[in-house]
Amino acid sequence: MSKLKETTVGRLEMKGISIAFPGVQALTNVHFEVSAGRSHALIGANGAGKSTLMKILAGAYDHYTGEVAIDGKEVRIRTPKDAKDHGIQIVYQEVDTALVPNLSVGENIMLEQMVHGLKGRHIINWRQLHRSAKELLERMNIHVPTTMLVQELTLAEKQMVLIARAISLQCRFLILDEPTAPLSQSETEQLFQLVRLLKTKGVGVIFISHRLPELYEICDDITIMRDGKRVAQDELAHISQQEVVEYMLGAKLDGQFPERNHKPKPGHGEIWFKAQHVNDPGKVNDVSIQVRKGEIVGLAGLVGAGKTELCRALFGASQSAAGELSLGGKPLRIRTPHHAVASGLALVPEERRREGIFVGESVAVNLTSVVLSRFTKLRTWLSPAKEKRASAEIIGSLGIKTPNEAALVRNLSGGNQQKIAIGKWLLADAEVYIFDEPTKGVDVGAKRDIYELVAELASRGKCILYASSEMSEMIGLTDRMYVMYDGRVVKELDTAVTNEEEILLYSTGGMMI
Amino acid sequence: MKAAESAQGKAGFALFEFLYKYGTLITILLLIIFFGMMTDNFFTQASMIMILRSISIVTIIATGLTVSLAVGGFDLSVGSTASVANAVVISMFVWHGQNIGVGIAASLAFCLVIGLINALLVINFKIQDMLMTLATMFVFQGVALTYTRGATVSQNMIMPSGDFATGTIPKVFGKLGSVPWIIIIMLVVVLLVHMFLSHTKHGRYMYMIGGNTEAAKLSGIPVSKYRLIAYLMSALLAGLGGIILGARVMSAEVNAGSSYLMEAVAAAFIGYSVLGSGKPNAFGTFIGAVLIGILSNGLVMMSVPYYAMDIVKGSVLALALAITYYKRSN
């Protein structure tokens, strides 16, 4: 990797970094280096390990192996304070977690100084604080009054405040974790100007992003990661978008997806579920999709592309959403999830613990929750015997590992909880099944079960909408897919004639420039 | 060493689980034994009936509160609602000379409006239930005071015009507030609410909403509708408590209901732990009320002054809350 600058001065190196979490080897022998005054793109598919690597650099973990060196000298980084002392600052994607909303911009920028710089003193010099904060903002070319409360700022401005905080401290290397994901075009441009400014001041910027075109606009070097390993490092000018995508994907996994016997022929069969001009201001932008009976239609796109928002809009779970839906030719009026369920829709939500299951209730209560009326006498009195029978059936057919149907869902593993989140909709016998990242956080065996379940539902003539940011699932499971980017459907692809590279290219907005 | 520690931890946890499940019942048993030995006539039938009678109004109000807790809400206005119901029912008899049916119906109608107001505020403005009902608690207390012009309503009271009120409180109404009816009404209320929460689809939905509102919504449960029903039930039962209170004292004192709030909250939270249910439930609430009733009656028999009683009741509530939240954080 000698194409990068050869001197060790002003260079940060991570050598042979490995880290494991219970059950996962997250990083294996990763090398990473970034030079002062240059911006370095760090890219990889979801779960490739880029965030973990950057968290190690920011001192969030202390149980990794390997070595970090700055200017050729080894340094010890085990706590966030170590990292900051060496001039490494990070701006995380979730800006709100790092800001105090009811304090002013000035106080937020100078937060570290207020916490650590006031040892032994009790009185804050407000004039000095606001003056220093103002100077910083002016240097960065940002025009926000330092007395304004952070809660009144836009997302982009909040990000700027965090960057200002980072460079208010000693800042030699700045990590930006997907900074552009929530930003508009002009806000992104403003951020890029700031990055260029920082580069001229000798700051090394590490830039994590899923959006390929903008990396080419702002970055000098690139490191590509896959499955916890570094697969490429080079100057960005030497590597094409197509190559980046190929590096990100690597070899494909085969054999984990079920064979489908009743696969509908492309373009054949009755269009059953139809959604037109679905809009949800700021989240979903004029999306039209249709699903045939027995068809598995994928919703591809990276994290933050608007897949979850679209799923929720279709299901009536977003109050601001609007659009025309129809099922079997009949128009649907869905204003709440209650209407959606009554109309034959089912949604397996992404955040299963928060949105899909009742952890304090038993397996049986969870499984019968959607169609509880069916397990009652006179539509009122619960019939535990009926509930028990039905849940035992689902437990058996899905292979849910639980002592019995009365066990609390809290005590089951993530994969089994996910099966319950899906299983409760099997009893409902809906016509349209919407899955939102159903395999997220689920182990390989349970994944396979879930794929089989989805395929089985399709073979029974259900309409399936399958949202996932895993490209391999799109290829392995779906018949057809819509690729989303920035809240819009940018491309419809036929699974038989596409490949992961093409999906990823559209997902990253690659074909748009 | 480590294994020993963890085994000890496990044993400690099992002990906590056991105490959590049966602690309330054991405490009741110990209190009965204690007071039985310390006083002469605690074990008599008359004393037991007195305790049940003394807790009946609290229990009815507390079961209403329990329903609001089941949907994850918290109706702090139950005491004020009882005051309103109390004032309306007595005034219907004394001021307007109405019969028992009209009196009770008018009173419950008022309570339905109160429940509706609570529900609409809580559902539409997405304000924390406890804060919103804290505000309405004062509003309804003021409504009751304004309605009675800050005076006690009773037979032969002097009206603002200077005349005496001519209406009388029906004798049958008074029966509702005396043994055995007052106890029977309480037991029926507890039984009905228990059946509703534990054995009907609607009760199940309420617990689901209380357990995870977002998941309940995405499961197609009409969340707002059930929260509305819960607040209506809470207000109705609080109103029933206020009516029975009126029947018991045959008058409407100023703010008569508000003193029941604290005990109702205590009873409901003690109820969380009874038999390890971990959820608000009518049977547990009843047991909670029994515990408080035994404690306060026993202490009275031991000549602890009435003005020191709030210290004991408040401590019991603090303990019940501590146990509930400690359990939840585990």
One-character DSSP codes across A305-365: SSHHHHHHHHTT--TT-EEEEEETTEEE--SSHHHHHHTTEEEE-S-IIIII--TTSBHHH
Tokens matching residue A379: 């539509």
Which residue has tokens 């395999």?
Answer: A439
Average pLDDT over residues A81-94: 88
Task: Judge whether B17 is closer than 8 Å to chain A, CB to CB.
Answer: no
Question: Is the N-terminal amide bond of A384 cis, ω within 30° of 0?
Answer: no
Contact residues on chain A for B217, CB-CB shorter than 8 A: 317, 336-338
Confidence bin at A255 (pLDDT 50/70/90): low
| Chain A contact probe: residue of B218, B227, B279, B330 with most A CBs at under 10 A | B218
| Chain B contact probe: residue of A358, A386, A424, A433 with most B CBs at under 10 A | A358
| Chain B contact probe: residue of A372, A381, A425 with most B CBs at under 10 A | A372
- Nearest chain A residue (CA) to B217: A337
- Say whether pLDDT at B5 is over 60: no
Q: Residue A8's pLDDT is what?
A: 67
Domain boundaries, chain A: 1-87+171-249, 101-169, 271-344+430-512, 355-424
B205 CA to chain A: closest CA distance, Å?
8
**Cβ contact (<8 Å) for A341 and B220?**
yes
- Say whether pLDDT at B283 is over 80: yes
- Say whether pLDDT at B1 is over 50: no
- pTM of the entire structure? 0.81
Using DSSP's 3-state secondary structure scheme, residue A479 falls into coil
Tokens matching residue A210: 């899923």
Task: Judge whether B96 is closer than 8 Å to chain A, CB to CB.
Answer: no
Average pLDDT over residues A412-416: 81
Domain boundaries, chain B: 40-329
Tokens matching residue B330: 């585990």
Q: Residue B53's pLDDT is what?
A: 95
Sign of the CA dihedral running A340, A342, A347, A353: positive
Q: Which helix (H) or strand (E) holds B218?
A: helix B213-218
Percent of chain B with pLDDT over 70: 96
A399 CA to chain B: closest CA distance, Å?
22
**Cβ contact (<8 Å) for B212 and A372?**
no
- Nearest chain A residue (CA) to B225: A338
Q: Do residues B90 and B252 make contact, with C-beta atoms less than 8 angstroms apart?
A: yes
Q: Residue A221's pLDDT is what?
A: 93
Identify the CATH homologous superfamily for domain A1-87+171-249: P-loop containing nucleotide triphosphate hydrolases (3.40.50.300)
Q: Residue B109's pLDDT is what?
A: 97
Fold of the domain spanning B40-329: ABC transporter involved in vitamin B12 uptake, BtuC (1.10.3470)
Average pLDDT over residues B76-87: 96
Chain A residues contacting B via beta carbons under 8 Å: 315, 317, 336-338, 340-342, 347, 349, 354-361, 365, 369-370, 372-373, 376, 379-382, 424
Contact residues on chain B for A380, CB-CB shorter than 8 A: 200-202
Q: In whole angstroms, what is the distance from residue A39 CA to residue A30 CA?
A: 19
Most confident of A78-92, A208-222, B38-52, B135-149: B135-149
Q: Which of B201, B217, B218 has the CB atom closest to A372's CB atom?
A: B201
Q: Residue B329's pLDDT is what?
A: 74
Domains A1-87+171-249 and A271-344+430-512 share a fold: yes
Q: Residue B4's pLDDT is what?
A: 45
Q: Residue B76's pLDDT is what?
A: 96
Average pLDDT over residues B156-161: 85
CA neighbor of A291 nearest in space, from A327, A342, A336, A330: A327
Q: In whole angstroms, what is the distance from residue B327 CA to residue B22 CA?
A: 14
**Cβ contact (<8 Å) for A360 and B219?**
no
pLDDT per position as a tens digit, A323-362: 999 999 999 999 999 999 999 999 999 888 889 999 989 9
Q: In whole angstroms, what is the distance from residue A350 CA to residue A343 CA?
A: 21
- Measured at the CA of B92, the angle between CA B89 and CA B96, to 5 degrees, comes to 170
Q: Which residues of B34-67 are buried (b: 16+ CB within 10 A; e: fewer)?
A: ebeeebeebeeeebeebbbbbbbbbbbbbbbbbb
Which CATH number does A271-344+430-512 carry? 3.40.50.300
Contact residues on chain B for A357, CB-CB shorter than 8 A: 212, 215
Q: In whole angstroms, what is the distance from residue A473 CA to residue A457 CA?
A: 16
pLDDT per position as a tens digit, A264-323: 666 677 889 999 999 999 889 999 999 999 999 999 988 778 999 999 999 999 999 999
Contact residues on chain A for B212, CB-CB shorter than 8 A: 354-355, 357-360
**Cβ contact (<8 Å) for A424 and B219?**
yes
Using DSSP's 3-state secondary structure scheme, residue A128 falls into helix
Task: Please state, rounded to an integer, the average pLDDT across all residues of chain A.
Answer: 87
CA dihedral B55, B56, B62, B63 (to 10 degrees): 140
Of A10-24, A364-378, B7-21, B34-48, minimum mean pLDDT range: B7-21
